[in-house]
Structure 1
Amino acid sequence: MQFADAVRKVEAVLTAHGYASACARILAENCLTAQRDGSISHGVFRLKDYLSTIESGYVNGDPTPRVADVAPGFVRVDADNGFAQVALARARPLLIEKAAENGIAIVAIRNSHHLGALYLDAEGFADEGFLALAVVNSDAFVAPPGATRAVYGTNPLAFAAPRSSGPPLVFDQASATVAHGDLQVAARQGRRLPSGTGIDAQGRPTGDPGAILDGGALSTFGGHKGASVALMVEIMCAGLVGADFSFDVPHGRPAGAGTARTGETVVVIDPGAGAEALPELPGRVDVLAAALADAGQLRIPGERRARARNESGARIRMDEQQWADIERLHAAALRASQALDPHTHKELGPA
């Protein structure tokens, strides 16, 4: 099916369930871009969480992010209990202006939610020639080495750098052994993961996704090394931003709320800043990528997603059941909109 058609239909579904049109557009494009790029765990798979979260009343579907210019290279945003992608879109012009003026700028987002692929928060800046680093914390799903319960979120970080020969170099990785979405996908498919991917409710290492989800926790990648990354993300996204630490996120939130109200930080660097003449960064990144390929590295970060995006073109791939679900939800959204007065949004009675 056509990518634009899928975005339009998912946007209509989100709007019918309570998201404002501008917010729904951002989330639909984010969700379906991840799907098109092959990031299945953050694509259409997430739609059910977007819907259940808004229906639970836990997230603001029509937020007004409040952007504060707090220092020459520092922007703070209160996301108004909406999604971080919406807050980032509001702050983006000021963030780019500051990065261009000062060589570096940071945006710290609080009171926000995040269900999408984090690399999409960084990639667009690299498309404009900047370096970008994005970090976000979430529910406590991850236990540090030796612990018997979760303390950290999966706490991913995404990095993007421009290249002169094509799409940016981009990576997006959880500080856990796998992303929580990938864990859910494995559980749904009945697929075991490597032993030690997480711990069960008794703190024993396991590769059973069901046991990890049922009172257990994911482990950090690389033991204490991944735990240090998770720790840094907590400080950058909760301590600095003024949001909840992952272990502070309330467990008693409304049923169906599929996300956590936490924080996100994005750092943007202008590699061309300064009077000193230096080799252009995109070309330098290409030199490094070529050296990695010559050494035998099979895939440069970001290339698989870029290839999937190029191969899809204006189309998007998803399985028949996913498309059937979207069509069903879209049809229901159309019926609901036809039953409402477009001016008062009240149900139409008999003529």
Structure 2
Amino acid sequence: MTEISTQDLVELIERVLGPFASLQEPLEARNPAKADVQLAAFWFVQAELLKLPAFGIQMLLRDLERLDALDSLAPGGEAGAALLSIDAQRIPGHVSLALAVRLAAHTVKAQGCAILGIRNVGALGVLGCAARSLASEGAVAIISANSSAFVAPLGGTAPAIGTNPLAVAAPRAHAAPLVLDFSTSPMTLAALRQARATGGTLPASGAVDADGQRTSDPTRAAALLPEGRISSLTGLGVELITGVGVGGRLAAGLPAPERSALVIAYSPEAMGNRDAAELCAQLTQDWQGAGGHVPARFDSLPLKREQLPSRISVHSEALAALEVRAQGTD
């Protein structure tokens, strides 16, 4: 591990992502703007603060490899419309999601709600960070994503859907937004890759091999398993609203070149509800009072860039590779 100034890390990521941003930043711009690059860099650092390096710098480097042979491509859609579609094939996943969040926030303020589909997108990182950004501006946000099939249905023995993460966030009075962020499978593909790279083992009930038999060997894993019935059905639902609804769904066994995502955001005030933040705080108390666990993983994260800690520890190899990338943009 290497300790680095957090500000230096943010600036390093922004240098790497800079070529994908438009020189201008009007809200009507269809290309990612400097503001989107800045927000994407913030999310990458948040992933590192959450101790999720596979969703931080390492994910950025993998996504850049995907883009090496491609040029920038302007997303489609008209800014300001409640329904938007973004083609992100040649844009880093985090940057395209930041673009969607910026347009969604603007549209919610203007019209009360926004629905954005992102097609052909690469790695999206921790969706909860994006949902939290919208909730911090007063919106209720739902963000989902689908990916190549590598998760079996409950009771199944072969992959049918992706890990299909889902994030929901809402503003909360006297506290940071309440954020839910989970996937179909308790194990992510990033964790599977890590286990394969390090020779680690999987939970006994975490995967099946090509013959449909349970395995703890990551090199034999042909499909991950869902945590239970609700998890399995949630993954199927995410596949419906993203893979089917937005596009990109391919038959099981065919590698989807990219994933798709859906961003839904709306203003509680547009629904006639001026007490959403207080209701969310009350819900938190009721849930805890009933013996429930309130997700708090995101609560320790800063809501603004200026609140980031002064220093951060990151993997030395990933940092070195990022610095090489940054040099190539000079």
Normalised by the length of structure 2, the TM-score is 0.81
* Residue 266 (structure 1) aligned with residue 259 (structure 2): no
Which of 203, 207, 217 is the matching residue for 2:223? Answer: 217
Distance 1:126 1:112 in 2: 23
Segment of structure 1 superposing worse, 176-185 or 264-273: 176-185
Change (3 A) 1:282 1:29: same
The alpha carbon displacement at 1:308 in A equals 5.3
Q: Give the secondary-structure state (helix, strand or coil) at the position aligned to 1:140.
A: coil
CA contact (8 A) 2:15 2:329 kept: no
Which of 285, 298, 313 is the matching residue for 1:318? Answer: 313
Q: Give the secondary-structure state (helix, strand or coil) at the position aligned to 2:286.
A: helix
**Any gaps of 5 or more consecutive residues in structure 1?**
252-259, 339-351
Please show how residues 156-175 of structure 1 align to structure 2 within 5 Å. 156-175=165-184
2:27 is matched with none
CA contact (8 A) 1:82 1:111 kept: no
2:49 is matched with 36
The Cα offsets for residues 294-330 of structure 1, whole Å up to 9 and x where unpaired, read as 3444x522x23322559x94235335xx235414641
Change (3 A) 1:96 1:26: closer
Distance 2:121 2:57 in 1: 21
Distance 2:302 2:285 in 1: 22
Distance 1:38 1:186 in 2: 16
**Any gaps of 5 or more consecutive residues in structure 2?**
23-33
Distance 1:92 1:177 in 2: 26
Q: Give the secondary-structure state (helix, strand or coil) at the position aligned to 1:242.
A: coil
Which of 232, 241, 244 is the matching residue for 1:239? Answer: 244
The alpha carbon displacement at 1:42 in A equals 0.9
Distance 2:127 2:201 in 1: 25
1:62 is matched with 72
The Cα offsets for residues 189-221 of structure 1, whole Å up to 9 and x where unpaired, read as 444332211111221122333322xxx111122
Q: Is the radius of gyration larger for structure 1 or structure 2? A: 1
Change (3 A) 1:44 1:194: same
Distance 2:216 2:172 in 1: 38
Aligned length: 312
Which of 157, 174, 179 is the matching residue for 1:148? Answer: 157
Distance 2:20 2:111 in 1: 36
Distance 2:106 2:302 in 1: 29
AA at the equivalent of 1:218? L
AA at the equivalent of 2:41? A
The alpha carbon displacement at 1:139 in A equals 1.6
CA contact (8 A) 1:152 1:246 kept: no
RMSD of aligned alpha carbons: 3.1
1:348 is matched with none
Distance 1:67 1:271 in 2: 25
CA contact (8 A) 1:10 1:326 kept: no
Q: Give the secondary-structure state (helix, strand or coil) at the position aligned to 2:210.
A: coil
Normalised by the length of structure 1, the TM-score is 0.76
CA contact (8 A) 1:109 1:265 kept: yes
Q: Give the secondary-structure state (helix, strand or coil) at the position aligned to 1:272.
A: helix
